[in-house]
Amino acid sequence: MAMTNSSSLAATQAKHWYWQRISAMVLALCVLLHLGVIIYAVRSGLSAAAILGRTHGSLLFGGFYVIFVLACAVHVPIGLGRIAEEWLGCSTRAAQIGARLFGLLILLMGLRAVYGVVLA
Amino acid sequence: MSDVLDVKVWRGTVEGSFSTYRVPRQASQTVLDVVTYIQRVLDPSLSYRFACRVGMCGSCAMTVNGIARWTCRTHVAKVAKGDALEIAPLSNLPVIKDLATDMSEFFDKWARAQGQFKGKLTRHDDFAQVEPASKARVAASAGIECIGCGVCYASCDVVAWRPEFLGPAALNRAWTLVNDERDVATAERLRAVAGDAGCHSCHTQGSCSERCPKQIEPTAGIAGLKRMVAKAAVRGTL
């Protein structure tokens, strides 16, 4: 039983580690593209109409930012859970629950924002 | 530079204070020479630990001017601030008395990291043939010169934050064994070094690699363990 517990805990940590790595790789690309979009966007106007003119109905724009939001929602909670455990002294369970709720919040807010500028 | 060193030495256990001693300065003097002079000439009640004096046994590590070092191979001229030296016991370990720490937990963690070699050959089998230039053997050879001095353990912030963390030396030991093709306990070992107490807690700050007197890089070994554990998790063998 002890072996099963330690084994499943080890597997969970290993999964956290590679999801953190994979999402970091995705984020590295997304952040670069996002910076490019910012530089491009400020050159041609930042009014609501100009922004919506570029984004509304754009599958490419929507798809890219959905991936960005998903990568954030995976990456951020894993790191926050660690910080909560090590710096705030939370138990592993409390840290994971708190971090997952925060991840869910990021996911909902991010997807809502993408929906707002692409589809609404 | 004057002819005399002002040496502050920790006296006591967890509770205690620094006492100051004046020690004659000499050419090529090591920090261990200084501590030995104090104990033999100035204050015989000073407790400290050493054995080989030549950087092999790993028993004389102390905190010298705030940094963990092997004192027998550390020249005073290299670390003294002017004429001042401050010598304290290693961090992250319970102090028994003065400069001697209790290293049981440090070595118990090697055992917890499955640091024992487990082979399958007996004395009736022929010698194992290991290709010296193979990737695994090169990785193992890079880590096997550890003398167990505890400098990495005392320098690690994660050990301070998470007392159950196995620490750089124990994980380095595990890394050398998972790269030893004669060893048969890789699965149990990976299970032992994964998770909160193991490699996944390392923040890759690299203090252990920076301060290891044998120039071992536990940080690289711990990163290797993370990759190996991830592969085992994907294959379902963890």
How much is the average pLDDT of B13-28? 96
> What is the rounded end-to-end Cα distance, in angstroms, of chain B?
58
Last residue of a domain, one of B101, B120, B139: B101
How much is the average pLDDT of B155-183? 96
How much is the average pLDDT of A54-73? 94
- The upper half-sphere exposure of residue B82, i.e. CA atoms within 13 Å in the direction of its Cβ, equals 3
Is position A5 within any domain?
A: no
Are B94 and B121 found together in one domain? no
Is residue B30 predicted with pLDDT exceeding 60? Answer: yes
Are B68 and B52 found together in one domain? yes
- Judged by CB atoms closer than 8 Å, whether chains meet at B200 and A7 is answered as no
- The upper half-sphere exposure of residue B198, i.e. CA atoms within 13 Å in the direction of its Cβ, equals 36
Q: How does the average pLDDT of chain A come out, rounded?
A: 90
Instruction: List the domain range (segments joined by +) for residue A77.
Output: 20-118
* Residues of chain A contacting residue B161, judged by C-beta atoms under 8 Å apart: 86
- Judged by CB atoms closer than 8 Å, whether chains meet at A13 and B162 is answered as no
Query: Looking at residue A89, which CATH number applies to its domain?
Result: 1.20.1300
Confidence of residue A86 (pLDDT cuts 50, 70, 90): confident
Asked if the ipTM is above 0.90, the reply is no
* Residues of chain A contacting residue B226, judged by C-beta atoms under 8 Å apart: 14, 17
Using DSSP, state whether B23 is helix, strand or coil: strand
Per the structure, the count of domains in chain B is 2
- Judged by CB atoms closer than 8 Å, whether chains meet at A10 and B238 is answered as yes
How much is the average pLDDT of A28-54? 88
Out of A11-20, B57-66, B150-159, least confident range: A11-20
How much is the average pLDDT of B178-192? 96
Share of chain B above pLDDT 90, in %: 95
Entry pTM: 0.88
- Judged by CB atoms closer than 8 Å, whether chains meet at A9 and B196 is answered as yes
> What is the rounded end-to-end Cα distance, in angstroms, of chain A?
52
Confidence of residue A3 (pLDDT cuts 50, 70, 90): very low
Per the structure, the count of domains in chain A is 1
Query: Looking at residue B195, which CATH number applies to its domain?
Result: 1.10.1060.10
- Judged by CB atoms closer than 8 Å, whether chains meet at A14 and B233 is answered as yes
Is position A13 within any domain?
A: no
A91 touches chain B (CB under 8 A): no
**Packing angle of the helix pair B186-193, A2-43 (nearest 10 deg):** 60
Are B129 and B197 found together in one domain? yes
**What pLDDT, on a 0 to 100 scale, did the predictor assign at position A5?**
59
Instruction: List the domain range (segments joined by +) for residue B143.
Output: 104-235
B118 touches chain A (CB under 8 A): no
B232 touches chain A (CB under 8 A): yes
**What pLDDT, on a 0 to 100 scale, did the predictor assign at position B141?**
97
**What pLDDT, on a 0 to 100 scale, did the predictor assign at position B199?**
95
